[in-house]
Amino acid sequence: MALWRQQVCAVMRVRFLKLKHEGKFLRSILLFFGIFILPMLMLFIGFQLWDGSGNWEITASSYFLPTEEKIQNKSTNLLIFNDTGSEIEDFIVALKSQNMMPEITLEKNITSIPLHNGAIKISLEDKSYRFTVMCSAEPINCFPMLVNILSNTFLRLFNCTARIRVWSEPFYNTQNPEVKSDIFFICLSYMLILAAGLPPHFAVSSMEDYKLQARAQLRLAGLFPSAYWCGQALVDVPLFWTL
C-alpha cells in the first residue's frame, strides 16, 4: 500500500505538470469555453441590462429645487400650505434636511397659487395633523415622490437617520415568471451539453500516452494499473468539476 500510494502521488504529479506545460490542451479548453460560454455570457448581460433599464430611482431633486428659485429646468419649489394656524418650523427643518427649499403659503384658495410640481397641505383637525399631497398634471411619479418626502420627514422628526428610497419599475408587472423558468431550463440544458463536451479533452491526453506506449513502459517498470488511473483521476476529476 505504501508503494501504491507513492505511485499514485507520482502519477498525479506527472499528470499535473503535463497539463500545466501542454499548450494544446489549454488552447482547446479555452476555445471550447469561448464557443459555449460567450453566448451564455451575452444572454446574461442582456437580461441584466434589460432589467436595469426599466428601473430608475425617483429622487426629490428631479422635481423640487434645493434653492429659493421659483422654477428651473422643470423643477420648482415644494409648496407648503400651512392651514394649522401655528408655526411648523420643525416640519420645515425636516424638509430642508432632504436638500429642498419649501415655499410656505397661507393662501386658502389653492387654485390661485402659481403652478408647482407638487404641494403638501397641512391642516389641524381635533388636535391631529392631517397631510394632503397635491400634484400637477405633468410630473410623472409625483405622488409616490411626495409620499416618500413625507415619510422621510416623519423619520427626521423622530430623530431617525434612516432614509426611504423609491424606484419606478414600469415593466415589473409585465414580466412573466414562466419566461424566467424557461430561460433557466435552457441554460441548464446548455450547461449539460458543455459538461458532456469536456471529457473528450481529457481523454485525448490518455490516448497520446497509449500511442507512445508510455503506460506499457510504466507497467514494465512496476507501476500498478490502478495507481496509474487513480493518479490521473485525482487531477482530471477535480479539474473537470471546477470547469
* pLDDT tens, residue by residue, 183-199: 778 778 877 877 777 77
> What is the average pLDDT across 4-23?
85
> Average pLDDT of the chain?
80
DSSP designation for 64: B
Task: State residue 35's pLDDT score.
Answer: 76
Look up residue 146 and give its three cell numbers: 411626495
The answer to whether residues 122 and 80 touch, using CB atoms and an 8 Å cutoff, is yes
Please report where in the chains the cell 513502459 appears, as a residue.
217
- Please give the C-alpha separations between residue 121 and each of 35, 68, 96, in angstroms, as whole numbers: 62, 19, 17
* pLDDT tens, residue by residue, 44-88: 787 777 665 667 788 888 788 887 776 777 788 888 888 888 888
Question: Which residues contact residue 121 at a Cβ distance below 8 angstroms, ignoring those fewer than 6 apart?
Answer: 80, 81, 83, 110, 131, 132, 133, 134
**pTM above threshold 0.85:** no
The more confident residue out of 125 and 173 is 125
Q: Are strands 56-58 and 166-168 parallel, antiparallel or unpaired?
A: antiparallel
Q: Which of 162, 113, 105, 166 is nearest to 140 (CA)?
A: 166
